[in-house]
Amino acid sequence: MERDYNPHELERAVQQSWEAEDAFAVGEELDRQKFYCLSMFPYPSGRLHMGHVRNYTIGDVIARYQRMEGYNVLQPMGWDAFGLPAENAAIERGTSPAAWTRANIAEMKTQLKRLGFGYDWNRELATCDPDYYKWEQWVFLRLLKEGLAYRKKAPVNWCPNDQTVLANEQVVDGACWRCDTPVERREIDQWFLAITEYADELLDELGNLAGWPDEVRAMQRNWIGRSRGVQVRFAVAGAEQELSVFTTRPDTLMGVTYLAVAPEHPLAQASAESNADVAAFVERMSNRATAEGELEAQEKEGIRLAAEAIHPLSGERLPVYAANFVLMAYGEGAVMAVPAHDQRDFEFATKYDLPIRPVVVPEGGDLDPGSMTEAFTEPGVLKDSEAFSGLTSAGAFEAIADKLKALGRGERRTNYRLRDWGVSRQRYWGAPIPVIHCDACGAVPVPEADLPVVLPEMELREAASPLKQSPEFYRTTCPECGGAAERETDTFDTFVESSWYFARYTSPDSDAAMVDERAGYWLPVDQYVGGVEHAVLHLLYARFVNKLMRDTGLIASDEPFTRLLTQGMVLYGGAKMSKSKGNVVDPQEMIDRFGADTVRLFILFAAPPEQALEWSDEGVQGAHRFLNRLWRLTADFAEAGPVPALPAELAEEAADLRHQVHALIQRASDDVRRRYHFNTAVAATMEITNALGKQVGSDDRGMRAVVGEGLSAVVRLLSPMTPHLANALWQGLGHTGTVEHAAWPEPDPTALQRESVDLVVQVNGKNRDEIRVPADADEAAVREQALTSERVREFVGDTPVRKVVVVPGKLVNVVAK
RNA sequence: GGGACGGUGGCGGAAUUGGUAGACGCGCUGGAUUUAGGAUCCAGUACCUAUGCGUGUGCGGGUUCGAGUCCCGCCCGUCCCACCA
């Protein structure tokens, strides 16, 4: 082999051989265990950034490792190709989103190949391809039929900058998740997917996702926000309409002293028509800030409405307020206010001088409304609550719920924070929603035979969708009555495409169905890798669509991703890399300087995958130095001749080295296999290399055999991380076949055995000496030897020894005090 | 306000089940080699009032023969959610 490590030439050659052999193409082999390793596919924004490189390096290491363990490994790659940045770029450059996207895909694909990722490119897909989104349109038609997709006029989050609607999940702190523009509320006809139908399953199954980070499960649980309570209907004096509220605390019902509705609530709106003060309040509240922090700081504010509600049990007349702290979007948009037991109600009551009536008190205690400074929100025991007095909160919950039901004034109900998923986007660069609007027949599904509804390729001049000005696209005839009709010009939210791509990779060329029987072999994904920023968007939608596909009979698995690894951010100079901060490190520049292996190795070594990674120019140098050293060492070793076989007996020095090497192999394997702690696995390979380096010049046959064996192990341990270098060194060491087909190294149990071990000896918990004892020495012998140690006798002195603790293989603690 | 995760040398980080704190790397110091620089190699590198029964994992307590790790009470940081009834 060559004496000098020349990464660029080497990497090019190895990549060419992979390409020539189609080395990462896989098919279904029913007699082999499969492993499906998937990294979140990129949006083709132009060039790879360091976050991509980290994501895909982690995924590639896992895929290559599993392959060495003998699994039939699928690792595909594709493009999340629809989306707004393409439109913005197209407007700026006077081109079409399609052309811009295709150019970016070509560029980024070259970069991915340059990094040496082992993808099965035969399965590549782009979501903007009609062969892909055809099936999304198809499944949408199925959902329409089942009532799981529906259209309704709804108040929506509207981003004035992007000129489109946003799903709830896409509003961050009251602003657009993409461009940070504050969102406005609008009433628009929208298509929805009934994700709330699956809320319980999505929530309950989080408990089974043992391979997911707790963090992500907690976020999804939080987002779905299930709460059990009672819907209570209050009669309104002199009106037929009832006032419906949702409460999780029916036990506090007898403490209700007023009701409050959202400013957008019909009752408030109706009142505004006849009362100028209410109208002014409602108007002012419609512009209220929705950003976080402001909301918290916002003082409780309200206005009394003319209506009076009637307490369902006591018959008492209760004032009704429109109040800023009540949200129209949650529950019924109205609350029963119990100032004694809810902090918001308490603050409002204090401000407007409304009565505070404690009905749930601490066991054995009491509450004085006159001196309360905050609400008592704990469960307790009921008082002043007619027949319910004396019950516990839990008991009263049931008793009062039963009573309300008997009176026809309420039912138990489960409420969710999760809302149905609005998927209509008023933009061009997306998959057309396959619906035709007919004046006579209404919204009519496009017949299956007419799919796909192809998005025409167009140039863009302004933010508005050109589809709406394109009669060639929207003019059509009604599939039902044959009359003139218009196509839906809205497109799907791009999160729809990314909700099922993992399944399409299994059957990328299927033109008869969304997926075929091959999905049964590969799904679910065994390991998914991506950024934590998708914890509630993509990962929740994908779980939902997976269940839709299951219930359509397309796939069998309940969940799409068995294990999930969320990698940390890449920082530079202590901050997240971003163009605005000017602290971006371009991966391409790093590859050009050091080669792909060095970049991959540094990323893996600098931090465990789920933690933030601080980019360090010196650290990259260090990684490069290590690869250089390993290369030279292997070249020196190989130059001296072939590797001799291990003799039956090794001299002590060689045996010690072999022991050390095998112990490190064991550690590195455990780090990769069980813990995905690639940073410590790399550290172990460095330790092995350092140890071998001292003996590389030895001409002792036994020592040479140990060094040769050790180098072969290091090369295989490193091969998922630095595959090009490993490929060359493997050949340099004289192995036949490529390292990609080699087996993962296993420690030799006989090498791990020792005749004697060194134990630390402590006196009163402080290290005082070290003794060497036979590995099979019993406790009494170890104890004896420790007590006769001179250092121990010195520290113990005349103090009687109270106890001797022996931890086999580790230490002895002599307790004398 | 609720939740999750974290706080260890000059820096990134290691310590997996309560058992030698600081692996590995960076940086730094000294030396070798070199015309020089760089590269490479060797040695050292937690701290200190250092001839030590010394101190040390954010702070204060506790359990234990033994605590970075477990328990109680605080402080600080990052992320997520948030007038959710």
Burial of A63 (0-12, 13-18, 19+ CB in 10 A): buried
- Residue A791 — pLDDT band, cuts 50, 70, 90? confident
In chain A, residues 220 through 279 whose Cβ sits under 7 angstroms from any atom of nucleic acid strand B: 222-223, 225, 227, 229, 245-249, 262
8 Å CB contact between A727 and A740 = yes
Spanning CA of A643 to C1' of B37, the rounded length in angstroms is: 39
pLDDT value at A106 more than 50: yes
Bridge partners (DSSP) of residue A227 are A415
pLDDT in tens, A325-345: 998 888 899 999 999 999 899
CA dist A695 to A359, A668, A690, Å? 82, 21, 9
pLDDT in tens, A663-700: 999 999 999 999 999 999 999 999 999 999 999 988 89
Q: What pLDDT is attached to residue A288?
A: 59
**Range A365-380 average pLDDT:** 88
- List the structure tokens of A433: 């929603």
Q: Mean pLDDT in chain A?
A: 92
Position of tokens 């922090």? A293
Cα-based angle A76, A77, A82 (whole degrees, multiple of 5) = 140
pLDDT value at A601 more than 50: yes
Q: Coil, strand, or helix at residue A264?
A: coil
Q: What single-letter amino acid sits at A494?
A: T
Q: What single-letter amino acid sits at A447?
A: P
Spanning CA of A614 to C1' of B28, the rounded length in angstroms is: 20
Does residue A630 reach within 7 angstroms of strand B, measured from its CB?
Answer: no
Cα-based angle A775, A776, A777 (whole degrees, multiple of 5) = 95
ipTM of the complex: 0.94
Spanning CA of A767 to C1' of B21, the rounded length in angstroms is: 12
pLDDT value at A155 more than 90: no
**Range A806-817 average pLDDT:** 89
**Range A765-783 average pLDDT:** 90
Q: What single-letter amino acid sits at A608?
A: P
**Range A606-630 average pLDDT:** 93
pLDDT in tens, A522-549: 999 999 999 888 888 899 999 999 999 9
pTM for the whole structure: 0.93
Q: How far apart are CA A664 and CA A288, in angstroms?
A: 62
Nucleotides of B under 7 A from a protein CB: 2-5, 11-16, 19-21, 23-27, 39-42, 53-54, 65-67, 79-85
Decide the pairing of beta strands A184-193 and A226-236: unpaired
Spanning CA of A618 to C1' of B31, the rounded length in angstroms is: 23
8 Å CB contact between A665 and A746 = yes
**Range A767-790 average pLDDT:** 90
pLDDT value at A553 more than 90: yes
Does residue A675 reach within 7 angstroms of strand B, measured from its CB?
Answer: yes
Q: What pLDDT is attached to residue A255?
A: 95
